[in-house]
Structure 1
């Protein structure tokens, strides 16, 4: 007669960790025979129930920990054992879960990962538009590579970025279904060693989206037009130009992120595209702009909308459009001939560093908060070149004001 496992407390379960060697580490938690916490070498933890169904030993996933608590896992385990005792097959019942239902459960489980409600809606909308019409009514256990390809192939070449994100989201739904015990085997939406054998790499087919930017020779005139206008959206656009920051980073900026004495704007990781904290050196012009701004009582935002929330993306676009309308023909991108947009200011800055200065490429990329270098190089890079970037941004500000039309040679190069 096998000895019953000790009934562990929630605190004891919380302390269970992988020993560092071997494969998955399974620990019986007691309370229900066969209930275990499975810990992978990466630290991922989930519930597993080992049972005998009609003479066959089976393993059932009960969900990820800590999303599913110890008490909930024991309740689920008892319910499954009751079904078995009554002669039922819990696995047969589970296989009826559809992709649409699994998507809803995945969204619930991943709520904490979404940066905002907008991000959650985007995640769902992609699946609703492309995956649900094909996979929605299918049982998750039935979906294979051919089904995933039916979703992806029609848009892989024409909407590559969307298709690539969609593939990752389908993979996430099917991964949840596997961990929760609703399907077995490999994930048919996995890229490496799977779909990469039948679909071209996204980078080979994706068309790079270039935002219309200002011509370098037009930038000083545009900046003068901008500074001659009033309005919160106009000041936000001016700040975006001086800092080469993304529109969303500027619109979501709060006073707590600023250190005006040190001339620093520190954007927290959760607001950055790369999910890494970014330090922006503020020039004298940027600091003066900020100090002159009125502060709205009850709002934390530097550039608030009328009701105190952040400005919308359309507000900056509208401010840019008004500048175009006031100038015959507007300010056009020299490559596409289209009117420049707020995000295109970053391209103008990058063109300036490449064509009118001798600043290092990496320094310009750091200013734009782009990932620079290989994984190894990033591991050894300890500095974000903040003071060198401060001098570069000051030179950029002078260029925008029309004070530095000639090629910039910074002091280190001159020496």
Structure 2
């Protein structure tokens, strides 16, 4: 039988660099960076296995010997200690029913439904920032409405939209816990909402520019810069800022710009590609922006990636305008309602809004592209100052 307990606590504290054997496969390693760790070597079915037992001084000599004895017994019984430890870790993970563990599992299960697999973090962040720091360690089957109320009360009136999202996500997590077979209170979020009361916060719409004022603003965007050109195209197309900022030239074919479904607002896999009818003026703006193209993106940042949302907003803010870029969608929608006879479903299609029931949409095969093409030209005519007058881009053509 090999000698054991060769090392002493004093030696371990002052050990020189290198590997030092305590006996029976237990080794102490002192690294060049000053750190140290324990590992155990055993033989199972003729195969040598090594497993780490932790670092020193977190794991003392006595603790390392005790742990080594436990895993030697596993090896003696003919089981691989490395795989056995992995199995125990998996079982422990399954047994973890804290809110944090279940919330993480619920998020993973829903990633396929989220835009970009949820990498932006918007689905999980309300929980991560405002719920899990206080309740993450609470077993989900012990969570009640008072816990939720006390956690969300500080932001219920000051950050109402964030609190609403956190409550919504929490409800989804509770349902996921119930699906796991845990005894959770599925009404806890509704009860908490009743305890919190009505929020004093009033939701505010993004300020929009009246459609009659858009031509003057459009005419002021006379510089051939990415910011001016992006704002022009934003106004002309009525799209959201995200797809516009990430516009790639290979998405344009003729006078149609196809926005991939994953770039549209909605759940991944449930949002189809969206075709944008480009007016002659929009095509002129795109041509003027081509010199700024980099890596396929039409509105590239001077350093890396694409221009930011804040770049467009700050331009309007510096001009002393209350309106913001996203508000041009409202400008277009109001113009469609007040200055055209466009049918409701066509007007809504201009903004990629979903209308009617899922059954009706399933049978309707058109996206009203031809009707939208006519409206896009009429809107461009209005924006550029009236029929027959097109604002010429500085430096273009």
Q: Name the TM-score class by shorter chain.
A: 0.5 to 0.7
Q: CA deviation at 1:270?
A: 0.6
Give matches, 1:247-326, under 5 Å.
Answer: 247-259=241-253, 261=254, 263-274=255-266, 275-295=271-291, 299-322=295-318, 324=319
Task: Give per-residue Cα distances to partners, 1:233-262, cap 9 Å, x unaligned.
Answer: 211111000001111110111112111x2x
Q: CA deviation at 1:382?
A: 2.0
SS of equivalent to 1:279: strand
Q: CA deviation at 1:100?
A: 2.4
Give matches, 1:94-243, under 5 Å.
Answer: 97-116=97-116, 120-151=120-151, 159-180=159-180, 183-184=182-183, 187-188=186-187, 198=194, 207-226=202-221, 228-243=222-237
SS of equivalent to 2:324: coil
Q: CA deviation at 1:97?
A: 3.4
The answer on whether the counterparts of 1:299 and 1:308 sit within 8 Å (CA) in structure 2 is no
1-structure distance, mates of 2:292, 2:219 = 27
Q: CA deviation at 1:111?
A: 4.8
Q: CA deviation at 1:403?
A: 0.8
The answer on whether the counterparts of 1:157 and 1:205 sit within 8 Å (CA) in structure 2 is yes
Normalized against structure 1, the TM-score is what?
A: 0.62
- Mark the CA change 1:205 to 1:352 in structure 2 (over 3 Å): closer, same or farther: farther
- Mark the CA change 1:201 to 1:112 in structure 2 (over 3 Å): closer, same or farther: farther
- Mark the CA change 1:134 to 1:222 in structure 2 (over 3 Å): closer, same or farther: same
Q: CA deviation at 1:294?
A: 2.7
Higher relative helix content: 2
Give matches, 1:341-380, under 5 Å.
Answer: 341-380=324-363
1-structure distance, mates of 2:348, 2:168 = 27
- Mark the CA change 1:110 to 1:118 in structure 2 (over 3 Å): closer, same or farther: closer
Give matches, 1:332-411, under 5 Å.
Answer: 339-404=322-387
Q: CA deviation at 1:381?
A: 2.4
The answer on whether the counterparts of 1:296 and 1:308 sit within 8 Å (CA) in structure 2 is no
Give matches, 1:58-73, under 5 Å.
Answer: none
- Mark the CA change 1:117 to 1:312 in structure 2 (over 3 Å): closer, same or farther: farther
Task: Give per-residue Cα distances to partners, 1:184-239, cap 9 Å, x unaligned.
Answer: 3563467xxx669958999x99844321122233221111101x123112111110
- Mark the CA change 1:320 to 1:126 in structure 2 (over 3 Å): closer, same or farther: same
The count of corresponding residues between Structure 1 and Structure 2 is 302
- Mark the CA change 1:374 to 1:282 in structure 2 (over 3 Å): closer, same or farther: same
- What is the RMSD of the two structures over their aligned residues, measured on CA atoms? 3.7
Q: CA deviation at 1:395?
A: 0.5
2-structure distance, mates of 1:160, 1:379 = 35
1-structure distance, mates of 2:265, 2:144 = 32
SS of equivalent to 2:386: coil
2-structure distance, mates of 1:148, 1:349 = 41
Q: Which has the larger radius of gyration?
A: 2
Normalized against structure 2, the TM-score is what?
A: 0.65
Task: Give per-residue Cα distances to partners, 1:336-378, cap 9 Å, x unaligned.
Answer: xxx2111111111112112222222221211111111233332
The answer on whether the counterparts of 1:95 and 1:139 sit within 8 Å (CA) in structure 2 is no
Task: Give per-residue Cα distances to partners, 1:242-297, cap 9 Å, x unaligned.
Answer: 001111110111112111x2x10111111111333211101111112212323567
SS of equivalent to 2:286: helix
SS of equivalent to 1:266: strand
2-structure distance, mates of 1:375, 1:297 = 39
Gaps of 5+ in 1: 1-74, 84-89, 325-329, 332-338, 406-415
SS of equivalent to 2:275: strand
1-structure distance, mates of 2:192, 2:251 = 42
